[in-house]
Structures are given as C-alpha cells and as structure tokens.
Amino acid sequence: MSTLSIPDARALATDAMTAAGHTPAEAAIIADHLIDCELRGLSFGGLARAVSIAERADGPRSPMRTVAETPVSATIDGGDQVGYLVAARALDVALEKARAHGIAVVGARNTWYTGMFSYYLERAAEAGFAGMIAGSGPAAVAPHGGTEGRFGTNPIAFGFPAEPAPVIWDIGTSSVMYGEVVLKSRLGEELRPGQAFDAAGAPTVDPKAALEGAFTVWGGHKGSGLAMVVQLLGMLSGAAADPPGLSDCGFFVLLLNPGMLTDAGDYRKRVTEFADSLRATRPAEGGDAVRVPFDRSAACRAETLRRGTIEVPERIVHALREISHA
C-alpha cells in the first residue's frame, strides 16, 4: 500500500482525469467525488475508479443536452459522458427547480459511472431538501432464483435534512458492487462465496469470472423486487433496460422541499430528534451502539481528514501515474 496525503491523492486523480480527456474543471468535479469516497473508506469508488474511467474514456463524447423540460422536470442526454459529470448537472438542475417550485424530478440517460448517490444527496439535504436517487445500468446482477444478469447493480438512496449532518440511506441492490469486483480483479483477490456466478451459471469467487457472469442480488426476493423497481425508475429517463457494455445508465433524482407539506424547520428538528432516538436504542447484548445510516461515513471522513492521509494499493497508484504521463 502507498500512503498519500489528501492533496497528493486529489492531484493524482485530477491529473489522471485530465490526461483521460477531461477539461481541468471536469477533472476537478470527478476528483472531488473520488476523493470523498476515499475519505469515507470506500476505496473501490475512489482512486481505483479513476483507472476504470480512464480505460472507458476513449470513446467519442457529445455535449450534454436537455431533451425534455417542464418547470418541475427535465430529462438530460449525457452524451456518453461519465456520470460524475452528468449526475452533477442533473442535481444542479433539480436544485434550481426545487428552489423555484418546491419539487423537482430530473432524469439522465446515455451516461456511465455515476458514483455514490449519497454524495449528491448530502448536497441536497444541506440545502434543505429531502430527496431520492435511483440508478439503472447494464445487466450484471441476476434476479433472485436466477443465474443470468438482468439488473444493474442498481443503487438507491434517500436523504433527509438534519443536524449536524443529514440522514442518508444509500445502498446497492446487488450483493457486491461493480467497483468492488473490478478492484478485486485488479488486485488478484477473491470474492466472498455466494456473491457471483460465472458465465455458465456456476457459483464463483473469481472476480474475472463474475464479470463475465452475474452477481447475486442483495436481500433475496425482497431485494430482487427492489432492484427491479430501481431499474424501472432509471428507465424513466429513457435509458435502455439492457444497454450494451458499460453504457446508457439511467439516473433518476427527486427532490422535495419539506415546506411544501409541513414546517421545514420543524421537520429538520424532528428528523434530528428521531435519528438521535435511534442512536439511543438499547443495543443487543454484546453488540455495538446503534448507528443511523451515514454515521459511519461521516465519522470515517472526519477521522481521515484529521489524519490527512489515505492508503491506496501500489498497483492503483502506479496505474494512475502511467495514465497521467502517457
């Protein structure tokens, strides 16, 4: 492992993204997202993802454009640009409309790799909005009882304003996320049993075989149903049900001003009090204190910022340096 200062890690990500064909401003947007993943201990979505972006970024890109719009909604064609940029644009549009009208629904299609949905919902919740984001993708996950891919890894997230930090629940509906499998493949590590099938439908712990086969769904038949719903929400943007390769992911964001339904300040206060009551729940015997979703991420980020460094696999650092100097 290599120990990098946070500024050095950010510079490495920014340089690699610039070398991969992004403008300095675009590279900074992508790097900020990737570094936030590293700060929160989600390394598969951090600098390792920058390598994957560079590998995929060779194809032609078109400018993002709005293809449908009303005062409270919009649909964005991402022009096959990376999702970190497209989702950021979609969120900006949603925030603008929600500020003006109290509610906004924005979809985006023709994009890929949109990153952590909690990254976007944190911004929305800090601006006072409750929200939901769902994202569809290529068929990499088998429905419950099957061994062939039909869903994307299909993350879904909800965010609510609270103090001192928002309450955010952000999950993938597969038993293992695509970035985790790719990183394990790069590092020569195995998956856990029960997470994947190979192309013939046999269980496998080999990440390379899993990438040719399918991942298992999270949560049995209930998780499979949720994955189906997320796929359908992503398709509201016009994204394909089963796009070829890593392409045409769907992104769906809904923002709501709580003041449309209740007193916004009182709602924030009640969310905060409710979250505190969850944390105060008597833990099971021998168990840890009860946490609220996003508590771990926020605490990890604060500790990493205090420490000022992150640990990154040598192979990833070497690959990014090669990309930057190519």
Q: Is the model's pLDDT at 283 over the cut of 70?
A: yes
Asked if 31 and 169 sit in the same domain, the reply is: no
Distance CA 93, CA 104 (A): 9
Asked if 150 and 18 sit in the same domain, the reply is: no
Query: What are the Cα distances from residue 119, in Å, to 58, 161, 201, 323?
Result: 26, 14, 35, 26
Asked if 121 and 183 sit in the same domain, the reply is: yes
Query: What are the Cα distances from residue 288, in Å, to 27, 272, 282, 285?
Result: 40, 21, 10, 9
Number of domains the chain is built from: 3
Q: Which CATH number do you get for residue 19? A: 1.10.1530.10
Asked if 114 and 39 sit in the same domain, the reply is: no
pLDDT, mean of residues 20-25 = 95
pLDDT, mean of residues 279-306 = 95
b/e for 1-22, b at 16 or more Cβ within 10 A? ebebebeebbebbbbbbbbbeb
Asked if 280 and 317 sit in the same domain, the reply is: no
pLDDT, mean of residues 233-261 = 96
Q: Is the model's pLDDT at 326 over the cut of 70?
A: no
Asked if 78 and 201 sit in the same domain, the reply is: yes
Q: What is the pLDDT of residues 203-237, one digit of tens each?
A: 999 999 999 999 999 999 999 999 999 999 999 99
Neighbouring CB atoms inside 10 A of 207's CB total: 23
Q: Is the model's pLDDT at 8 over the cut of 90?
A: yes
The per-residue pLDDT for 60 is 79
- Using omega within 30 degrees of 0 as the cis cutoff, is the peptide bond preceding 207 cis? no
Specify the pTM: 0.94
The per-residue pLDDT for 1 is 85
Full DSSP string of 74-141: EEEEEEEEEHHHHHHHHHHHHHHHHHHHSEEEEEEEEEE----HHHHHHHHHHTT-EEEEEEE-SS-B
Q: Residue 287's domain spans which residues?
A: 264-293
Q: What is the pLDDT of residues 137-186, one digit of tens each?
A: 999 999 999 999 999 999 999 999 999 999 999 999 999 999 999 999 99
Asked if 13 and 77 sit in the same domain, the reply is: no
* Residue 312 near residue 319, CB atoms below 8 Å: no
